[in-house]
């Protein structure tokens, strides 16, 4: 995997997937066991999960990049879940 892909996907996962799918000529986005519709659906709905699958398939779960992306996903989804409930309580 490309280091630039890994770093950018930490901060802007959906935009990084879009750019690397359509504009980067090298084969940076790795092959995985998901069908194309699964890649598309996860890329739109849960891009961090798709990137975790990419990292786990390519580098393995013992890679530090896997654990960094897993921590970023947990933090992102936890904060998003708390903010969603806080907004609903104010209404």
Structural domain boundaries enclosing 81: 3-90
- Count how many Cα atoms sit within 13 Å of the Cα of residue 37 in the half-sphere of its side chain: 0
What is the spatial distance between Cα 29 and Cα 31, in angstroms, rounded to a whole number? 7
* pLDDT tens, the chain, 91 aa long: 688 889 999 999 999 988 888 887 676 677 778 888 888 899 899 999 999 999 999 899 999 999 999 999 999 888 876 666 665 555 5
Q: What is the pTM of this model?
A: 0.81
Domain count of the fold of the chain = 1
Q: What DSSP state is assigned to residue 29?
A: S
What is the spatial distance between Cα 2 and Cα 58, in angstroms, rounded to a whole number? 11
């Amino acid at each position: 995997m490309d280091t630039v892909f890994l770093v950018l996907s930490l901060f802007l996962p959906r935009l990084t997937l879009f750019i690397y799918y359509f504009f980067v000529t090298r084969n940076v986005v790795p092959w995985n066991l998901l069908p194309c519709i699964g890649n598309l659906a996860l890329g739109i709905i849960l891009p961090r999960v798709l990137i975790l699958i990419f990292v786990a398939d390519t580098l393995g779960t013992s890679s530090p990049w896997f654990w960094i992306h897993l921590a970023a996903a947990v933090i992102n989804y936890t904060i998003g879940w708390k903010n969603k409930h806080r907004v609903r309580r104010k209404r």
